[in-house]
């Protein structure tokens, strides 16, 4: 089976619709025909200052619970927490020594995050963030990496580093491909449909998976739409409406063309009302299952420990090959 790996940061109390439609939906479906490795990337989370250690720990558990509730099956996929697999940090060091300073400086996400208002002092960890991401992927010899559009540049760097290592030291890494869903790779903020949905914008434009249904309905009702009144997809002319149709399609399984027909002769209000229903109905069981899983944190931690053990078997093999090729002494 082809391998898939992806990761998500535990930096909020809930994932949002952008995470789900852009990435997590693919995580779930790709389990069917891939050997899947999915991780909650807490090492990445501390590249920006986190509020409090207890909050980070809890968010890591809430993240894992949401992934399982969304359909990631820990019996079938290897679900783990990045900090419990030390090989990630170990391989990242080796890859950092193959990364050009200028190459890392060109990463647009670093530029965005380091200059964002209220970001605080910029850490070296934020700068080398994409190299740690490359290590996450290359340790598992992943063929495909399901992510949203915002991760494309990091995936290109990962491919470059894999190729560079292979060229210098001999074939070691699988060169991975980004798996970015056409059309849904960038879910827009509901209040600012010129920006991607993100927790770093004001909360009104970002629908969290664990939001109260009333809050979700209100956010969708208040979404900024476009001039005109016809419900048709037009990413250039009607970004707001198109975004709502994309989200609808992800949850209802209907194509955009089917939805346009369904809403023919009806207005934006009808679209928003129905979308709120579709989303809150789909999320209700996810919220319930997340709460159930969090009610037994010891069991959740046990599941994650099992995932980490499985991950370490694969990661350890790759790291051993890397150490040998680089010229380190055999394990002491």
Evaluate whether 32 touches 152 at the Cβ level (below 8 Å): no
- Give the other-Cβ count within 10 Å of 34's Cβ: 21
**Residue whose pair of structure tokens reads 């990242």 in the numeric block:** 92
Name which of residues 139 to 178 contact ligand TYM (CB under 6 A): 145, 147-148, 150-151, 154
Q: Which of 196, 219, 238, 272 is catalytic?
A: 196
Give the Cα separation of 278 and 207 in Å (integer).
Answer: 13
Q: Mark out the alpha helices in 142-238 (DSSP H runs).
A: 152-169, 213-221
* DSSP three-state, residue 273: helix
Structure-token pair, residue 318:
């790759």
Q: Which residue is nearest to ligand TYM (CB)?
A: 22
Interacting residue with ligand TYM among 4, 7, 173, 274 (CB under 6 A): 7
Sheet holding 35-40, edge to edge: 78-81, 35-40, 3-8, 144-146, 177-179
Min. distance of Cβ 88 from ligand TYM in angstroms?
Answer: 9
Q: Is 199 a catalytic residue?
A: yes
Q: Is 113 a catalytic residue?
A: yes
- Residue 167 sits at φ, ψ, to 5 deg, of -65, -40
Min. distance of Cβ 221 from ligand TYM in angstroms?
Answer: 20
Give the Cα separation of 74 and 80 in Å (integer).
Answer: 9
Interacting residue with ligand TYM among 35, 87, 136, 274 (CB under 6 A): 136
Given the complex with ligand TYM, which of 201 and 230 has the nearer CB atom?
A: 201
Judged by CB under 6 A, does residue 99 bind ligand TYM? no
Judged by CB under 6 A, does residue 220 bind ligand TYM? no
Interacting residue with ligand TYM among 48, 187, 247, 276 (CB under 6 A): 187
Q: What string of DSSP letters covers 246-300?
A: HHHHHHH---HHHHHHHTTT--HHHHHHHHHHHHHHHHHHHHHHHHHHHT-HHHH
Judged by CB under 6 A, does residue 59 bind ligand TYM? no
* DSSP three-state, residue 6: strand
Min. distance of Cβ 11 from ligand TYM in angstroms?
Answer: 7
Min. distance of Cβ 196 from ligand TYM in angstroms?
Answer: 4
Given the complex with ligand TYM, which of 222 and 269 has the nearer CB atom?
A: 222
243 is in an annotated binding site: no
Min. distance of Cβ 252 from ligand TYM in angstroms?
Answer: 18
Give the up-direction half-sphere exposure of residue 320: CA atoms within 13 A in the CB hemisphere: 9
Structure-token pair, residue 108:
């647009």
Binding site for ligand TYM (CB under 6 A): 5-9, 18-19, 22-23, 41, 44, 133, 136-137, 145, 147-148, 150-151, 154, 185-187, 196-198
List, by residue number, the catalytic residues. Answer: 113, 196, 199
């Amino acid at each position: 089976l082809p391998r898939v790996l992806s990761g998500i940061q535990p930096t909020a109390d809930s994932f949002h619709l952008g995470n789900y439609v852009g990435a997590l939906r693919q995580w779930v479906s790709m389990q069917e025909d891939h050997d899947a490795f999915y991780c909650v990337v807490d090492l990445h989370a501390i590249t920006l200052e986190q509020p409090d250690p207890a909050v980070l720990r809890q968010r890591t558990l809430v993240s894992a619970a949401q992934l399982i509730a969304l359909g990631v099956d820990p019996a079938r996929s290897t679900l783990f927490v990045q900090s419990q697999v030390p090989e990630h940090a170990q391989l990242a060091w080796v890859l950092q020594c193959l990364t050009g300073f200028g190459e890392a400086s060109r990463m647009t996400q670093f530029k965005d995050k380091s200059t964002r208002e209220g970001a605080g002092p910029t850490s070296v960890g934020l700068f080398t963030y994409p190299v740690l991401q490359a290590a996450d992927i290359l340790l598992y010899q992943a063929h495909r990496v399901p992510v949203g559009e915002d991760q494309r540049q990091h995936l290109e760097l990962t491919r470059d580093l894999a190729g560079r290592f292979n060229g210098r030291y001999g074939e070691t890494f699988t060169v991975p491909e980004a798996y970015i869903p056409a059309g849904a790779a960038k879910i827009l903020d509901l209040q600012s449909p010129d920006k991607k949905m993100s927790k770093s914008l004001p909360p009104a434009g970002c629908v969290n998976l664990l939001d109260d249904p009333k809050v979700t309905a209100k956010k969708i009702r208040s979404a900024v739409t476009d001039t005109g009144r016809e419900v048709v997809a037009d990413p250039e002319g009607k970004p707001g409406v198109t975004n709502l149709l994309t989200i609808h399609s992800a949850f209802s399984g209907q194509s955009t063309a089917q939805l346009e027909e369904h809403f023919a002769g009806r207005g934006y209000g009808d679209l928003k009302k129905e979308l709120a229903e579709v989303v809150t109905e789909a999320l209700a069981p996810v919220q319930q299952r997340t709460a159930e899983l969090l009610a037994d944190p010891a069991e959740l931690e046990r599941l994650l420990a099992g995932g980490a053990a499985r991950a370490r078997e694969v990661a350890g093999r790759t790291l051993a090959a890397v150490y040998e090729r680089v010229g380190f002494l055999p394990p002491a």
